[in-house]
Amino acid sequence: MAKQKKTPRPKAETPKGFRDYFGAEVQGRKAMLDIIGQVYHRYGFDALESSAVETVEALGKFLPDVDRPNAGVFAWQEDAEGEKPGDWLALRYDLTAPLARVYAQHRNDLPTPYRRYAMGPVWRNEKPGPGRFRQFYQCDADTVGAPSVAADAEICAMLSDTLEAVGIQRGDYIVRVNNRKVLNGVMEVAGVLDPADPDRFADERGIVLRAIDKLDRLGTGGVRALLGAGREDESGDYTKGAGLSEAQADVVMGFMEARREDGAATVARLSELVGDSVVGREGVDELRQIADLLAAQGYGPDRIVIDPSVVRGLGYYTGPVFEAELTFEILDEKGRKRQFGSVAGGGRYDDLVKRFTGQSVPATGVSIGVDRLLAALAAKGLGETAEEGPVVVTVMDRERMADYQSMVAELRNAGIRAEVYLGNPKNFGNQLKYADRRGAPVAVIQGGDEAARGVVQIKDLKLGAEIAQSASLEEWKAQPAQSEVPRTDLVAAVRGILARTAG
């Protein structure tokens, strides 16, 4: 006879690939988002918050990293309404696809050009891994309806300003700019793009694009192999190559290595490489304009460079592409030094709104990976600091809870973070342990005796910890970390200690 099953207790677990953020983590991210938002706003960008949920139809298939297995969205079907099957809905996987939908939907009510910024979580239905989460924050700025590359140059300048505003020193980052049209010109010269038949060689070009994008990871040898027959990685997996001849591959490699000492020289070199390709020359001209605009505004190669090795994997870019990279070294999980790498990227995508409207609408923008940027600041020791705990008013007499509540109310009204201990007050040691765990700078104590005399004990917990670590027995006995003050001086006394701690 089968045993009767009892309903098991639910597991207290986040779903795989999701996590919770506590206290200082939340505050640190908020502080960063606030700063980024201020820079974007000062540049004339308006806030937009679209819904987290979109129809699958509106989102389309523009996921980055399409060659990765399990890439996808979280999607579900609405209940049917009568005969009509329900729509498929999904969580947004980035902030760009929703912008295209918003612009197409509201374009008659929006200014043109429309500069907008957006920040919030996005969701990817990917295989979770160490440090790889399925919900993460992005912070985007895009300009829709501006065909001029001045819009691209502006985004690059703003990206540079933003990184410095959140605390990345000049010299610790670089914004790299390239242009897809130049790459297309090079492809044309290499014989894998036929302007008369754009669909021809599309697969080869896809492989070339992804190969160049992997330069950092695979090195020139690896990229070269992918341009040719293909490449076997350490695990033995074989990736099919683009099948380019040696001469063709030389052209592409020459493009990737075209970076010179400054923007003008790089542009000159690219101009040679694209030869007579119409699209290539257009791309070179755009890069030249961007370089000129940025130079005129004082954004030198210490901040923004033209770099032909940047291609960005995303299929929808149509012109300038850019990427911000942090150039300082950190230790990876195995203790090896490596550059921190990319924290933001973007480019021009002139066809995304067209999906909805049929009319081409120029657009360009950037997305900052907020969580990566926070991790970078933390690696530099510049990130979140432990949150300042509240002043803890302890409870000596349970019956006098109203008195203790009055104390915290006074402290709060003076702008001081404060709370009364709300656990079981019986064991006073537990109250001090709690204050310690909360990172409280001060504990306030008032027993019946002190209440009768109209005084309170003020315990400087940080000084107490310092003394406990370093002081002699005599000093310890003198207990300067605890003092008795008149009840009426409570706020002033606490403020004095907080000033010392902050100073």
Q: Which residues are annotated as a binding site for L-histidine?
A: 94-96, 124, 138, 142, 312, 316-317
Q: Taking the CB of residue 172, how many other CB atoms lie within 10 A of it?
A: 16
| Smallest separation (angstroms) from a copy of itself to the CB of 389 | 8
Give CA–CA dist 271/265, Å, rounded. Answer: 10
Of residues 382-401, those binding a copy of itself (CB under 8 A) = 387, 390, 392, 401
Question: Which residue in 69, 131, 358, 503 binds a copy of itself (CB under 8 A)?
Answer: 358
| Smallest separation (angstroms) from a copy of itself to the CB of 316 | 15
The smaller minimum CB distance to a copy of itself, of residues 281 and 417, is found at 417
| DSSP H or E stretch at residue 207 | helix 202-213
- Of the CA atoms within 13 Å of residue 59, those in its CB half-sphere come to 26
Of residues 456-495, those binding a copy of itself (CB under 8 A) = none
Question: Which residue in 169, 220, 245, 297 binds a copy of itself (CB under 8 A)?
Answer: 297
Question: Which residue in 15, 82, 131, 503 binds a copy of itself (CB under 8 A)?
Answer: 15
69 binds a copy of itself, rule: CB under 8 A: no
The smaller minimum CB distance to a copy of itself, of residues 416 and 467, is found at 416
Structure tokens at 88: 């498929």
Question: Which residue in 35, 64, 147, 172 binds a copy of itself (CB under 8 A)?
Answer: 147
41 binds a copy of itself, rule: CB under 8 A: yes
Question: Which residue in 66, 278, 422, 468 binds a copy of itself (CB under 8 A)?
Answer: 422
Question: Which residue in 3, 20, 217, 237 binds a copy of itself (CB under 8 A)?
Answer: 20
The smaller minimum CB distance to a copy of itself, of residues 33 and 183, is found at 33
The amino acid present at 442, given as its one-letter code, is V
Of residues 237-276, those binding a copy of itself (CB under 8 A) = none
Question: Which residue in 260, 355, 380, 495 binds a copy of itself (CB under 8 A)?
Answer: 355
The smaller minimum CB distance to a copy of itself, of residues 29 and 231, is found at 29
Q: Taking the CB of residue 222, how many other CB atoms lie within 10 A of it?
A: 16
Give CA–CA dist 435/391, Å, rounded. Answer: 8
Of residues 79-138, those binding a copy of itself (CB under 8 A) = 79, 87, 89, 91, 101-102, 104-106, 111-113, 115, 121, 123, 134-135
In the block, tokens 């992804």 appear at 210
CB 325 within 8 A of CB 353: no
* C-alpha closest to that of 258 among 190, 305, 328, 312: 305
| Smallest separation (angstroms) from a copy of itself to the CB of 190 | 32
53 binds a copy of itself, rule: CB under 8 A: yes
49 binds a copy of itself, rule: CB under 8 A: yes
Give CA–CA dist 82/85, Å, rounded. Answer: 8
The smaller minimum CB distance to a copy of itself, of residues 69 and 503, is found at 69
The smaller minimum CB distance to a copy of itself, of residues 359 and 470, is found at 359
The smaller minimum CB distance to a copy of itself, of residues 26 and 468, is found at 26
Give CA–CA dist 350/360, Å, rounded. Answer: 6
Question: Which residue in 35, 71, 74, 476 binds a copy of itself (CB under 8 A)?
Answer: 74
| Smallest separation (angstroms) from a copy of itself to the CB of 35 | 13
- 3-class secondary structure, 486: strand
The smaller minimum CB distance to a copy of itself, of residues 10 and 82, is found at 10
54 binds a copy of itself, rule: CB under 8 A: yes
The residues near 114 (Cβ < 8 Å, ≥ 6 apart) are 46, 103, 107, 143, 144, 145
In the block, tokens 């309170």 appear at 456
| Smallest separation (angstroms) from a copy of itself to the CB of 346 | 16
405 binds a copy of itself, rule: CB under 8 A: yes
Q: Which DSSP string do the residues of 117-168 spell out, in sequence order?
A: EEEEEEE-----BTTB-SEEEEEEEEEES--SHHHHHHHHHHHHHHHHHTTP
Long-range contacts: 402-405, Cβ < 8 Å, 24+?
403/446, 403/451, 404/446
C-alpha distances (whole Å) from 349 to each of 25, 148, 184, 213, 317 are 34, 13, 15, 18, 5
Question: Which residue in 1, 2, 247, 296 binds a copy of itself (CB under 8 A)?
Answer: 296
304 binds a copy of itself, rule: CB under 8 A: no
| Smallest separation (angstroms) from a copy of itself to the CB of 398 | 8
C-alpha distances (whole Å) from 373 to each of 63, 114, 137, 343, 488 are 21, 26, 10, 6, 46
Of residues 432-461, those binding a copy of itself (CB under 8 A) = 434, 437-438
Q: Which region, judged by CB under 8 A, interacts with a copy of itself, from 23-31, 183-191, 238-246, 492-500?
A: 23-31
The residues near 439 (Cβ < 8 Å, ≥ 6 apart) are 386, 387, 388, 389
The smaller minimum CB distance to a copy of itself, of residues 128 and 230, is found at 128
| Smallest separation (angstroms) from a copy of itself to the CB of 271 | 20
* C-alpha closest to that of 312 among 274, 342, 356: 342
Binding site listing: 94-96, 124, 138, 142, 312, 316-317
